[in-house]
A and B are shown apart, each in its own frame.
Chain A
Amino acid sequence: MLATQLLAEFKIQRDEDRCIRCKVCARQCGFEVHAYDEETDRMVSDQSKCAGCQRCAVLCPTGALTVALNPQSYAPNYNWTRERISDLKRQAETGGVLLTGCGNDKPMRIYWDHLVLDASQVTNPSIDPLREPMELRTFLGRRPKKLEVVDEQPVDGHPQVRIDLPLIFSALSYGAISSQAQESLARAATAVGTLFNSGEGGLPKALRGYGDHVIVQCASGRFGVDPDYLRRSAMIEIKIGQGAKPGIGGHLPGEKVSRSISAARRIPVGTDALSPAPHHDIYSIEDLRTLIYALKEATNYEKPVSVKIAAVNNAAAIASGIVRAGADVIAIDGLRGGTGAAPKVIRDNVGVPIEMALASVDSRLRSEGLRNECSIIAAGGFRCSADVIKAVALGADAVYLGTAALVAMGCTLCQKCYTGICNWGICTTDPYLSKRINPDIASKRLIAFLSAWALEIKEMLGGMGINAIESLRGNREHLRGVGLSDWELEVLGVKGAGQ
């Protein structure tokens, strides 16, 4: 077989004067880029294998390593970019669908960066969150059209889940991520009073104690779904789709299905875990209703049921149907949502940006008079607290954070999650690699980043003269667009700056 024609993506530069041959880089790299050559007493690198995850550069005790984009290039060509040429060559060598990890990395417009926030001047006072109370508590679930109060007591209504800040960890399944990473998420969610999402890989026995803080997924493969799993949760989520791969199922290769993963997913060791593209018992909205109520029956109507869809063209109409079908929460995952593995062509070309999908779903539910009857969780590429607060102003009750949580734990978005090798110990089940995540440390990092975002959200709320997050929900008057065309402003339901 011919050697590959591909250019190395990254170039590794080693400062020989600094290198002390400690071999940390060799031990840290699961892709086996670095090796020690005894004959010359030097470290050598095979940069063609490098994922650019920066683990070696960060851990090198003498700072001898620099991993940078490989400046080697083909002749400049706007149409045939290096990525296009490389992808095609890779396919010519393998004949396969190209896989990737993480969210869409293409330069499509990020609307968060074209929305600016309001602040109070003169006619009402801004509020300093360091001196005044500022409330982020949020409830997820169905609200009655009218609250029944008899003898000064509310008549028991629909179950609602309380979260102390509008930030929830997105679905990251055991198997896709390591048990250490999942435990870190569980611990952090519990500490700050929010939720994590089990993903579709079941819930390992060790994490069942975190039931009050877990959203358990019921996905097309039904992995790990049993009565105990459902009853121990704070909320149940039917996963219809995922922003990174709308219309596509999942595939956890058999070699990753270890004893513990087999126990969590309830499948035999070593078998492929295939999540079909659709739920084969949901081919229509009335089928969805059946599953929603089956789950409610199974849990005695004590848990809100969420339905998660990928943001697609008709998301607004679909969302309206989902609420009418009985869902208490709708989660919408946008174009830039992450994944552990997806066909690159799907990730980069299918879906709608979350900003647009969220705005149109919120508007549709309002015009149908349904908005107050459900909660909306927005997902898909939230990078900072400003993105979150803008999403709340567009109508979200809370946001799902997946990639952001991974980055807080160590992820550098090298997009090689699908290989099963993760030098940061997150997206792998290899015990040698996964023990790099210490839940004591990783959960502290997660708590710190959530707390930092919460503080920033309070600052921005206070600036707008608002002291409770619910007063910003759907309050698009507090947003203005910059550099957007009329149709974009119309979909977002915001005025242009200065208007």
Chain B
Amino acid sequence: MLDLELRNNPYRDDKVMGSCSVFGMMEMRGRCVKGEPVIEAMSSMKERSNGLGGGFAVYGLYPRHSSDYAFHVMYESVQGKELTEAELERNFDVVHDEEMPTNPHNGVPDPPILWRYFVSPPPEDGTRFQELVAREVTHINTTVRDAYVFSSARNMGVFKGVGFPEDIARFFMLDEYRGYIWLAHGRFPTNTQAWWGGAHPFSLLDWAVVHNGEISSYGTNRRFVEDYGYRCNFFTDTEVVAYAIDLLVRRHGLSIEMASKVLAPPLWDRIDRMPEPKRALYSSLRSNYAGLLLNGPFSVIIGREGEMIGLTDRMKLRPLAAATGSNMLYLSSEEAPIRLVAEDLERVWSPLGGIPVIGRLGEGISYDDEEA
């Protein structure tokens, strides 16, 4: 997309603000399930969005292409499609492509051209291929006319657009898909010029992020990740969260638990009281990654291959509810939607600020609130 910055931030605000509803659902054994509960849950939180953005990320949705990278791309012109396809052909082995199946009769106005591509990775060196994909997607998103990549990861896809989440779900006919992780987002932007690429989830490699909040440390965080080569073209907190977690976990090799102590660290008072060697670790994480502390209100649900993570700011200035039952993990802006769609819940709780809820295939659910 040429002029991506201007497109997503037409008034050149310091950042694009928006509040929202978030919901996440994970089948803990990795079995793929239908997304109807997620859509129903989002629909029940209608007051939290205003019809200017809705979207979903689904993990495990392409069993027949499970080892291929799926590119979900939107185009605003045929020319953009041709340019992008030339790019993809040049760099990748595209094994299959097709128009995204949509239902045109559901009242979502002016959809862009939506296409998906399946790319077969080379057998060796997965990390280098990931880097190549990340670079290529950034290249298309920032320099190719009228094209924007929603997602580009293995057996995972993002569906999003301008509308209420349930409208977007109907438009993309999400009842046709099954996944073991579903993330959903309903947007309430204060910026009125919504466009399809600006909806959430925001995705980078296999990360998908849905986010509710407004981070006061945005400028500091943006400059920090830019030091490491990321470019923040969207001017949204969500984008910064995605880059921060990618930097800490994929590139710097920290665990999700440690990364969450960077993004939402305990107060110094608490760190000072920790026993060694825990104190040394927490102190080091905080002082060395001070520029990644996400300050101000946020609740975020992050997905990646085999994992779903819920995290709020350390003061818990935005809501997040969690629940488990029948091999499912639910994360939601509100508790009511969880109760609406799931009956046999074992545990329903309100995670404390800064304490991550992590669902991991094969390992179960981790939530360690001991230090709180």
Contacts and interface: CB of A to CB of B under 8 A. Distances in A.
Given A125-B297, A475-B220, A478-B219, A470 B288 contact: no
A147 B252 contact: yes
Given A372-B224, A464-B216, A465-B295, A477 B15 contact: yes
Interface in B5-52: 12, 14-15, 17, 19
A144 interface: yes
A372 B227 contact: yes
A147 B227 contact: no
A237 to B, nearest CB: 20
A494 to B, nearest CB: 10
Contact of A152 (B220, B281, B317): B281
A124 interface: yes
A133 interface: yes
B119 interface: no
A366 B230 CA distance: 13
A320 interface: no
Given A123-B214, A133-B269, A372-B227, A474 B19 contact: no
B256 interface: no
B288 A366 contact: no
Contact of B296 (A146, A149, A465, A474): A465
Contacts of A470: 220, 290-291, 293
A133 B266 CA distance: 11
Interface string A222-251: 000000000000000000000000000000
Contacts of A284: none
B315 interface: yes
Interface string A149-163: 100111001001010
Contacts of A152: 258, 277, 281
A464 B14 CA distance: 14
B160 to A, nearest CB: 22
B188 to A, nearest CB: 10
Contact of B217 (A149, A369, A466): A466
Contacts of B290: 139, 468, 470, 473
A465 B12 CA distance: 21
Q: Bin the interface of chain A by size.
A: 35 or more
Contacts of B291: 372, 470, 473-474
B134 interface: no
B223 A137 contact: no
A390 interface: no
A143 interface: yes
Contacts of A143: 287-288
A239 B213 CA distance: 45
A190 interface: no
A467 B297 CA distance: 11
Contact of B253 (A123, A149, A475): A149
A468 B315 contact: no
A369 B291 CA distance: 14
Given A154-B284, A372-B291, A470-B220, A124 B214 contact: yes
Contacts of A473: 220, 290-291
Interface of A: 120, 123-125, 127, 132-133, 135, 137, 139, 143-144, 146-147, 149, 152-154, 157, 160, 162, 366, 369, 371-372, 464-468, 470-478, 495, 499
Given A366-B223, A499-B12, 20 more contacts: A120-B296, A124-B213, A135-B268, A144-B288, A147-B285, A147-B288, A147-B289, A154-B280, A369-B228, A372-B224, A465-B216, A470-B220, A471-B217, A471-B296, A472-B217, A475-B223, A476-B219, A477-B219, A478-B216, A478-B219
Interface of B: 12, 14-15, 17, 19, 190, 213-214, 216-221, 223-224, 226-229, 251-254, 258, 267-269, 277, 280-281, 284-285, 287-291, 293, 295-297, 315, 317
